Structure 1
């Protein structure tokens, strides 16, 4: 198997080089990046490798130039689109699953599923885990982190290597409602759910109680049972009540596989752990996210608090979109949400993703979110519905616009993003609209 052989060769070279060089880990700040960093940090600590770690939002020329040229550099969940920046570095390893945009350099070893096309869909945490396992079989206990990273990055759990990871993690997979956390009281899960936005329910405790009363679900011993403990009849009634409020839902959107992993000596919903990690890091507390991944119970408590605040802010952001507060530009099969300073730049991607999966727009519709970040603008692009609706590819669309602007960009077919100068705000919108209008004519 090509990927396994590539990882085996990378580990062989890494072990030899790390004997005489300090290792610098650079990882992305989302769930996939944080879980990748946790896996690699634990594996290198066990191997007694001298290393340091930095968590970053993105790569730019100035940051890369600041890296020690004599160190062994390993990029996690980023780097595939920035290899042209690494020529001055002695030895570079890239563990990533994003699009490869530049030519290979002789000093760089890339481990990326794009090298083998679509035959295996892995996230960066999955690759990092397989690397760690090749380094030492004892690292099999880190498999749960790879599952959390996979769930957090919306990568479909398919293929032999993903199945290997699921088996190593001893994951419990159950069919159920895709509202999380599935292990927490149902009323709270519904009220604070950001995975499925239900008008009048999400963010509304009274609306939740009315929904549960309608579904015939009552408290037991003073509290509602968790979603996982609902029987078949209760689950069916709850689904019916949700459908009555959102007739545009289909079964595939709200019913699917729930992944339960062993964490803190009990089964936890992988989606909830992913959300805790993501929220804490995006709120500026990446060290809390990392400590949580490494089973620090105090970090878990702190992450719960951060996540509660994050979810409330996210619900407010979604409501601001629904109420029309956010500037909205709509065209044929696209919508541009220019939030300016009304939604944080670290949240605009999540908002765009939720809207893309909301069924409010037909499959293939392009969802573009924009948010200010100092003198820059964060842009997040998603394709509504499936992972590649109507053949559109978000990374190709954003790349075609960024040819005319300065800034970093990257992503996948279903989700891509870029950072542009604030002064290019109107130019970006006009270039994108022009590109989409040409696309319509070609259709």
Structure 2
């Protein structure tokens, strides 16, 4: 098979052959949007190939979780969106004969290996920007093709990549871009240059523009009345039955008029050119989904998924990935409402409380005020808001249990280009204080003892300084 990422053909094929030879597979996956789409892709491919499987999810793959996985007594365990960083722990079970691991992941591998391991980092590709966990699972699905070539699953792979923050204003790159091309060819995706704001499918226009906090246009961003005045001055009919339309409802000429007016306002207000450029970018549309719904846009789809498993309803997220547009989608929308409130309250708390600024990084300790499952999302949203610089990575702490803190770190792609690698920072700093962690250059996480927060910050600050020197 020649897949969309030739560098990983051999690894994907080896993993597929092992899966195809298995009588039963346990599919174990992470709980974020990338993990859920990874599981959705793998589950669809396994079902189409007639391979019996069960599914389990975990927010962290550690020694205890692996012991639980071993009790399933499945001959093959397929790990998606995690596993590479836990190769040493997995090897213990493999050597004991508990199961044969097949790993489709994109995180930094531990200092060990296994026979069936598909990871872009092993072939010199960037796992933080060129291929997500869902993308790696997609390669497995393509190699496992039976009556179908599984190209329709490219849409889920793109949702996973977007949800994993791999898309910049210019869109997805590298191996991800090759998957986009397959999705377009299969008729399940469209890639367009459009307004690059969250909520183009579902938010009424005033709210869509009011929430342009990343751009910061005076008189529009964060200004409800100013936004209404701006829209009323455009000489466009932007209401239908007295209700504001959404961006997805506008035709091409109407969109051009709004964007042009936004750019003029931003320029006149002195908004930096790089922020103005961020008003538009590459967006991804799932053409099989109903227009005006959360699942039509890859970014909004990923947020729906984040609102499920992070609140212990991975079953709902997986059902949506597998096509349930009734009960599961209704449940997800309810969870999404709670998720948005939690994010809003968390962001408000961070903005009101502020952050501690070290020489090379900034940080906050949310304690039990923000759930550990979403503190990383809040940290990423906080970057660039008032008093929180985008010139330093941000480190967030939240209570995980009575003895441990969850650490979530976020940077920017500009900092990564200067040398930032949060995976290395977090892994080294956590190890130095008796914890463990890893992830990607632009985003990483860890678990550390509660009484080691300041020591972790000191180690991390020094390491970031060395990287950016």
Question: Aligned partners of 1:220, 1:382: CA distance in 2, in Å?
Answer: 40
Shift of residue 40 of structure 1?
1.1
Question: Aligned pair in 2 of structure 1 residues 362, 422: CA closer, same or farther (>3 Å)?
Answer: closer
* Residue 346 (str. 1) matches residue 364 (str. 2): no
CA distance in 2, matches of 1:116, 1:430: 33
1:154 to 139, 160, 165: 165
C-alpha distance in structure 1 between counterparts of 2:121 and 2:341, whole Å: 37
Is 1:12 matched up with 2:17? yes
Q: 2:228 aligns with which of 198, 209, 223?
A: 209
CA gap of 1:241–1:289, structure 2 versus 1, over 3 A, is: farther
Partner of 1:388: 416
Partner of 1:259: 284
- Residue 401 of structure 2 aligns with which residue? 374
C-alpha distance 363-246 of structure 1, shift in aligned 2 (>3 A): same
Which TM-score applies when normalising by structure 1?
0.88
Where does the alignment leave 5 or more consecutive residues of structure 1 unmatched? none
User: Please, which moves more after superposition, 170-179 or 158-167?
Assistant: 158-167
Gaps of 5+ in 2: 1-5
Q: Distance in 2 between matches of 1:339 and 1:212?
A: 38
Question: In structure 2, how many angstroms separate the alpha carbons of the residues matched to 1:425 and 1:276?
Answer: 32
Matches within 5 A, 1:101-180: 101-105=110-114, 108-118=115-125, 121-136=130-145, 137-156=148-167, 157-159=172-174, 161-167=178-184, 168=186, 170-180=188-198
1:18-417 matches, cutoff 5 A: 18-19=22-23, 22-68=24-70, 71-86=75-90, 87-89=92-94, 90-105=99-114, 108-118=115-125, 121-136=130-145, 137-156=148-167, 157-159=172-174, 161-167=178-184, 168=186, 170-184=188-202, 185-190=204-209, 206=225, 208-213=227-232, 218-228=238-248, 229=250, 230-241=254-265, 247=271, 250-264=275-289, 268-298=296-326, 299-323=328-352, 325-326=353-354, 328-356=355-383, 364-375=391-402, 376-386=404-414, 388-417=416-445
User: Post-superposition shift, 1:265?
Assistant: 5.3
SS across alignment from 1:58: coil
Using the alignment, how far apart are the partners of 1:373 and 1:180 within structure 2?
29
CA gap 1:201/1:302 in 2 versus in 1, 3 angstroms: farther
Check the 8 A contact 1:95/1:111 in 2, yes or no.
yes
- What is the Cα deviation at residue 193 of structure 1? 7.1
Classify 1:296/1:192 alpha carbon distance in 2 versus 1 (closer, same or farther; 3 Å).
Answer: farther
Residue 42 to residue 315, structure 1, CA distance change in 2 (3 Å): same
CA shift for structure 1 position 25:
0.9
Separation of aligned partners in 2, 1:194 and 1:71: 50
Question: SS of the counterpart of 1:231?
Answer: helix
Deviation at 1:224, TM superposition (A): 2.2
What's the C-alpha RMSD, in Å, of the aligned pairs? 3.0
Structure 1 residues 109-135: Cα deviation after superposition (integer angstroms, max 9, x where no partner):
110000111378211111212211221
Shift of residue 103, structure 1, vs aligned partner: 1.5
Q: CA, structure 1 residues 151+165, in 2 after alignment: closer, same or farther (shift >3 Å)?
A: farther
Q: Structure 1 61/203 Cα, relative in aligned 2: closer, same or farther at 3 Å?
A: farther
Q: Distance in 2 between matches of 1:287 and 1:246?
A: 47
* Corresponding residue SS for 2:69: coil
CA distance in 1, matches of 2:381, 2:216: 8
Find the aligned partners of 2:181 and 2:262 in 1 and give their Cα distance.
34
Query: Matches of 1:26 and 1:329 in 2, distance apart?
Result: 37
SS at 2:150 equivalent: helix
Distance 1:202 1:362, change over 3 A: closer
3-state SS of 1:66 partner: helix
Does the aligned pair in 1 maintain the 2:30–2:82 contact within 8 Å? yes
The answer to whether the 8 Å contact 1:60/1:408 transfers is no
Report Cα offsets for 1:127-163 as digits up to 9, x if no partner. Answer: 2122112212342222211111111112242235334
Q: Distance in 1 between matches of 2:154 and 2:321?
A: 12
Aligned length: 434
Whether the aligned pair in 1 keeps the contact of 2:194 and 2:280 (CA below 8 Å) is: yes
C-alpha contact (below 8 Å) 2:154/2:180 kept by paired residues: no
Structure 2 CA distance for partners of 1:23 and 1:280, relative to 1, 3 Å: same
Cα distance 1:27–1:195, how it changes in 2: closer, same or farther (>3 A)?
farther
SS at match of 2:414: coil
Q: Contact 1:192–1:311 (CA<8 Å) still a contact in 2?
A: no
